[in-house]
Chain A
């Protein structure tokens, strides 16, 4: 599904990704772990199409299509979804309006008719229950005044509504207490499907207790230095990153997080 070959990217002239290679197939769940500043968030942002990052080399294809040539919104419509590490607060745009606009943009792209307000409200209420968000949140501004956990649940709600082909979860576990982590993990597990891939970016392995990955990769200094199965995450938890020859505070660019 997703194929990344020798991807290089930089921000403000500084190279962060220094040759990433990664193959993800439909139905798989991959976890990318690594110390702060290793380039994990940069990889997420580059895949989603944030203009602040410049791709300086390599290629990325989604089902054979060159992803790097697509605009951000086109990538989303082709099925890329990024759950933000820091979801943005947008006062003045209601969550409901935002979600409906996004869903209808997708539907239009697929040649489906728009959902009217009533239809959408019904769907949104259902899904908000699934991530344990009070439907009252739909009426509030996008993420406005939401707690950290509520913001993350809102991200997962969006993924459930938009049904992406590839869901990228950037530090979705950060800032969650144990109950919220459970809710968010259940939401992510509900996303797992034969025709969908999930790429989780995380610093800690605790999320992986709830969402069991098929593959684990260690990103350090802008490169994937080790790949393995689920057991690699456990080993990292036990031994830290030191045995791989990197230090946790080894920073390629801490501002990229």
Chain B
């Protein structure tokens, strides 16, 4: 039997030596643990549809240069933080000094702050389940630490633009850690964009550590080009009565992968996870979500919708794990999928593991095409076929797009959807 492929040692040499010593030490320690790390193959259950698209050749191991110009597709009305190839660009950031809220790049942390962060990085993620997050921990060159003191409220959304410049092959390793104190509140938008056309990889980790009553709305936009593989992980750790809301919107690429793990650790915590994925051409998009109901009386609500056109492939794997003590858990997961062509493929797998006996747990998954009767109804009113197709496809995701609480983001998403419709539905 052929031995399983392992991560090339070329990946074990991080750039970015400006980090404070405790973070450099952490990174080194995480790196040494990656020696001989087996890479996912099609026999790896949670990578079975996507492993063949994962390209970790030695040219991908090169760090993309931490300099250049940034731009965003968002007309940003709130506060803004800009990262280029995983490194903060201070001159492109716009946010005031805020009472009770600290927004700092990892490079700017004192040794004491860095030591505290080093103790807590990776604490929200189950690293066995998200192997690729471990690579980020060994390679991040900078990062964003957001700390909210108890009761602190950010009055406007914080836009974090992560851009990669793909002039030559290589990778970037964006990293975000949010520490939300008791009853603090923040809305943040992570937007991932790219310029250039070389084959590159973006490997991200975002972590949310939420104290009692904290309230976070997280919006994630995957808007990179056709040359960008994106492998991202998000970990959320929720204490008592905290609330996490996620809106993940992604457009496809050669490989897009997002692992979202939410751990409801304090009683009364709740999360709402919405996702919209649109793929076309030969694009590939793989969403894996896990919700751990650890404590009793927690609620989770999840709705993901995929639209796959042409020969593209979308995957949804949603796991809900209700632990033995998590009585009175309430979990509801839905995944609806729309195939726009005979060549498109969608795979969906709900996984429920329930060890408590007094819980409410529901899941539903559908895969279908545009409804012929609805289409006939629309065109029988004189509406053109193309427009009817657009209306029905938009309707499929509109409910989720409308729920995104930031107008600039909704507009950006609607713009990208219009572009997708133009390419997908030809004039009759």
A residues whose Cβ falls under 8 Å from a Cβ of B: 48-52, 71-73, 75-77, 81-82, 84, 87-88, 90-93, 97-98, 101-102, 105-106, 109, 141, 158, 162
Contact = CB atoms under 8 A, between A and B. Distances in A.
Contacts of A109: 382
Interface stretch (B207-215, B383-391, B419-427): B383-391
Contacts of A73: 379-380, 382-385, 388
Contacts of B53: none
Contacts of B388: 73
Contact of A92 (B379, B380, B381, B394): B394
Contact of B391 (A50, A52, A97): A97
Nearest to B399: A92
Given A73-B382, A105-B383, A162-B382, A90 B376 contact: no
Interface SS of chain B: helix, strand, loop or mixed? helix
Contacts of A75: 380
A168 B34 CA distance: 71
Interface string B62-92: 0000000000000000000000000000000
Interface in B388-418: 388, 391-392, 394-399
Task: Report which residue of B372, B378, B396 has the largest number of chain A beta carbons within 10 angstroms of its beta carbon.
Answer: B378
Given A101-B383, A102-B382, A51 B376 contact: yes
Contacts of A51: 376
Contacts of B379: 71-73, 76
Contact of A90 (B372, B392, B428): B392
Given A91-B395, A93-B394, A106 B382 contact: yes
Given A52-B372, A105-B383, A162-B382, 17 more contacts: A49-B380, A51-B376, A72-B379, A73-B388, A82-B380, A84-B377, A88-B374, A88-B377, A90-B378, A90-B391, A92-B394, A92-B399, A97-B391, A98-B378, A101-B387, A105-B387, A109-B382
B1 interface: no
18 contacts: A51-B376, A52-B376, A72-B379, A73-B385, A76-B380, A84-B377, A88-B371, A88-B374, A92-B394, A92-B396, A93-B395, A98-B383, A101-B383, A102-B382, A105-B381, A141-B395, A158-B381, A162-B382
Contacts of B387: 101, 105
A125 to B, nearest CB: 19
A71 to B, nearest CB: 8
Interface of B: 371-374, 376-385, 387-388, 391-392, 394-399, 428
Contacts of B371: 88
A141 B388 CA distance: 15
A105 to B, nearest CB: 4
Contacts of A88: 371, 373-374, 377
A97 B394 CA distance: 12
A82 B381 CA distance: 8
Contacts of B397: 92
B380 A90 contact: no
A76 B399 contact: no
Task: Report which residue of A48, A91, A101, A109 has the largest number of chain B beta carbons within 10 angstroms of its beta carbon.
Answer: A101
A177 B392 CA distance: 32
A105 B387 CA distance: 10
Nearest to B381: A102
B382 A105 contact: yes
B382 A90 contact: no
B392 A72 contact: no
Contacts of B378: 90, 98, 102
